[in-house]
Amino acid sequence: MPTLTEWDRTPRIVVDAARCEGHGMCVGVAPDVFALHDEGAVEVLTDTADAVETAATAAIACPVGAIRVAS
């Protein structure tokens, strides 16, 4: 199990629900990482190391900048 210091540095995928408009570009770029619900809300499905890399690409594709990778 990681220590608190290591945990704080672990990259996380963050979706700003208030900013997200449900365009679905993230799902198109990273369907294994994101899902779009009927209400237009985006859900992060996984945050593994591989997912974080793909999420960074999806963040660039997001037209409203609702996705970021935080460390």
Confidence at residue 23, expressed as pLDDT on a 0 to 100 scale: 94
Q: What digits encode the pLDDT tens for the residues 15-67?
A: 999 999 999 999 999 999 999 988 888 999 998 988 999 999 999 999 999 99
5 pLDDT above the threshold of 90: no
Supply the range of the domain harboring residue 44.
4-70
Backbone phi, psi, residue 55, to 5°: -65, -35
How many domains does one find in the chain? 1
Cβ distance 47 to 7 under 8 Å?
Answer: no
Confidence at residue 71, expressed as pLDDT on a 0 to 100 scale: 80
Using the CB atoms, write b or e for 16-46: b if 16+ within 10 Å: eeeebeebbbbbebbeebbebeeeeebebee
Confidence at residue 3, expressed as pLDDT on a 0 to 100 scale: 59
Cβ distance 52 to 11 under 8 Å?
Answer: yes
> CATH number for the domain including 62?
3.30.70.20
